[in-house]
A and B are shown apart, each in its own frame.
Chain A
Amino acid sequence: MNNSQQSVRVGFFFLLGVALIWVTFETLSGGHFFEDRGYKLIAGFDDLKELKTGDEVRMAGVKIGTVEKTQLNESLTSAGGAPDTAHAASAILRIGSKIKITKDASAAIVQSGLLGNNYLAVTAGTVSQPLLKDGDEIATTVTPDFNSIMKDIGDLGHKLDGALSNLSSAFNGDGKDGGLFQKLDRMVTENRDKVNATMSNLQEITTKVNQGQGTLGKLINDPDLHDQLLAAVGEIKDTAAQAKVFVTDAQGVIDQVKTGKGALGTIIYDQQTADNIKASIQNVRDVSDKLAKGQGTLGKLINDDSLYNTAQNTLNKADRAIDGLNDSGPITAVGIAANALF
Chain B
Amino acid sequence: MKQLRNICDGVGSVLALLVRSVGYAGTLPLQLGRFIEQCYLIGYTTLPIVAILSFFIGSVLALQAGYSMQDFGAKSFIGSLVGLSMARELGPMMVSILLAGRVGSAITAELASMKVYQEIDALETMNIPPARMLVMPRLAAVIVMMPVLTIIANLVGWFGGAFVSSHVKFIDIDSSTYFGALRHYTKFKDVANGLIKAEVFGFVVVLVCCSIGLRTRGGPREIGASVTRAVVTSLIMILVLDYFLTQVLLLISPS
Interface assignment of A29: CB less than 8 Å from any CB of chain B? yes
1/0 per residue, CB under 8 A from A, across B31-54: the answer is: 001001101100110010000000
Chain B neighbourhood of A14, CB < 8 A: 39, 43, 144-145, 148
B190: nearest chain-A partner, CB-CB: A28
**CB of A146 within 8 A of chain B?**
no
Query: Does residue B151 face the partner (Cβ distance < 8 Å to A)?
Result: yes
Chain A 22-44 interface mask (CB, 8 Å, partner B; 1/0): 00110111000001000000000
Interface majority SS on B: helix, strand, loop or mixed? helix
Question: Contact at B188–A16, with CB atoms within 8 Å?
Answer: no
Contact of B40 among A9, A25, A29 (CB under 8 A): A9
Quick check: B183 and A6 within 8 Å, CB to CB? no
Asked whether, in the complex, the Cβ of B37 is within 8 Å of the Cβ of A13, the reply is no
Residue in contact with B191 in the complex, picked from A9, A16, A28, A54, CB distance below 8 Å: A28
Residue in B closest to A63 when the chains form the complex, CB atoms: B184
A3 on interface, CB distance cutoff 8 Å: yes
A214 contacts chain B at the CB level, 8 A cutoff? no
Q: Which residues of B contact A54 (CB under 8 A)?
A: 254-255
A9-B44, A21-B195, A24-B191 known; A3-B36 Cβ under 8 A = yes
Q: In the complex, A18 Cα to B255 Cα: how many Å?
A: 25
Task: Mark contacts of B203-243 with chain A using CB atoms, 8 A cut-off: 1 yes-contact digit, 0 otherwise.
Answer: 00000000000000000000000000000000000000000
Residues on B with C-beta less than 8 A from A3 are 33, 36-37
Q: Are B44 and A10 in contact (CB under 8 A)?
A: yes
What is the CB-to-nearest-CB distance from B62 to chain A, in angstroms, rounded to a whole number?
19
Instruction: Out of B40, B145, B189, B191, name the residue touching A6 (CB < 8 Å).
Output: B40
Complex interface: chain A residues within 8 A of B43 (CB): 10, 13-14, 17
A250 CB–B CB distance under 8 Å: no
Q: Which of B149, B186, B189 contacts A17 (CB 8 A)?
A: B149
Task: Give the distance to chain A from B45, nearest Cβ to Cβ, in Å.
Answer: 10
Q: How large is the interface on A (under 10, 10 to 19, 20 to 34, 35 or more residues)?
A: 20 to 34
B82 CB → nearest A CB, Å: 14
Q: Is B187 positioned at the interface, with any CB of A under 8 Å from its CB?
A: yes
| B6-38 at interface with A (beta carbon < 8 Å) | 33, 36-37
What is the CA–CA distance of A230 and B148 in the complex, to the nearest angstrom? 109
CB atoms of B183 and A27 under 8 A apart? yes
Tell me, in angstroms, the Cα distance from A56 to B145 when the chains sit together.
36
Q: Which residues of A contact B79 (CB under 8 A)?
A: none
- By a CB distance below 8 angstroms, the chain B residues around A53 are 254-255
CB-CB under 8 A from B105, the residues of chain A are none
Q: Is B165 an interface position by the 8 A CB rule? A: no
| Interface check A313, CB cutoff 8 A | no
CB of B151 within 8 A of CB of A17, answer yes
Asked if A271 is an interface residue, CB under 8 A from chain B, the answer is: no
Size category, B interface: 20 to 34
What's the nearest-Cβ distance from chain B to residue A34, in Å? 11
B92 adjacent to chain A (CB < 8 Å) = no
- B47 near A13: Cβ-Cβ < 8 Å: yes
Contact of B37 among A6, A29, A35 (CB under 8 A): A6
Known: A53-B254, A54-B255. A20 touches B151 (CB 8 A): yes
Q: Chain A contact residues: over half helix, strand or loop, or mixed? A: helix
Do the beta carbons of B33 and A25 come within 8 Å of each other?
A: no
List which A252-267 residues lie within 8 A (CB) of chain B: none
User: What distance in Å separates the Cβ of A126 from its nearest Cβ neighbour in chain B?
Assistant: 32
- Cβ of A7 and Cβ of B191 under 8 Å apart? no
Residues of chain A contacted by B145 (CB below 8 angstroms):
13-14, 17
Q: Please tell me if the beta carbons of B155 and A24 are within 8 angstroms of each other in the complex.
A: yes
Cα(A25)–Cα(B87), bound, Å = 12
Q: Are A20 and B152 in contact, CB atoms less than 8 angstroms apart?
A: yes
Q: Which residues of B contact A27 (CB under 8 A)?
A: 183
Interface core residue of B40, B145, B147, B254 (most chain A CB under 10 Å) = B40
A47-59: contact bitstring with B at CB < 8 Å (1 yes, 0 no)?
0000001100000
Which of chain A's residues 49-98 have a Cβ closer than 8 Å to chain B? 53-54
A78 to B149, CA, bound (A): 47
Task: Tell whether B76 is near chain A: CB-to-CB under 8 Å.
Answer: no
Min Cβ gap B225→A in Å is: 32
List A contacts of B147 (CB < 8 A). 17, 21
Q: Are A29 and B254 in contact (CB under 8 A)?
A: no
Minimum distance in angstroms from B103 CB to a CB of chain A: 14
CA A25 – CA B190 in complex, angstroms? 10
Please report the C-alpha to C-alpha distance between residue A54 and residue B185 in the assembled complex, in whole angstroms.
Answer: 12
Residues of chain B whose beta carbon lies under 8 Å from any beta carbon of chain A: 33, 36-37, 39-40, 43-44, 47, 144-145, 147-149, 151-152, 154-155, 183, 186-189, 191, 195, 254-255
Beyond A7-B36, A29-B188, 19 additional pairs, beta carbon < 8 A: A3-B33, A3-B36, A9-B40, A10-B40, A13-B43, A13-B44, A13-B148, A16-B148, A17-B43, A17-B145, A17-B148, A17-B149, A20-B152, A21-B148, A21-B191, A21-B195, A24-B151, A24-B155, A24-B188
15 A–B pairs (Cβ distance < 8 Å), ordered by A:
A9-B44, A10-B43, A13-B43, A13-B47, A14-B144, A16-B152, A17-B147, A17-B148, A21-B191, A24-B151, A27-B183, A28-B187, A28-B188, A29-B188, A29-B189
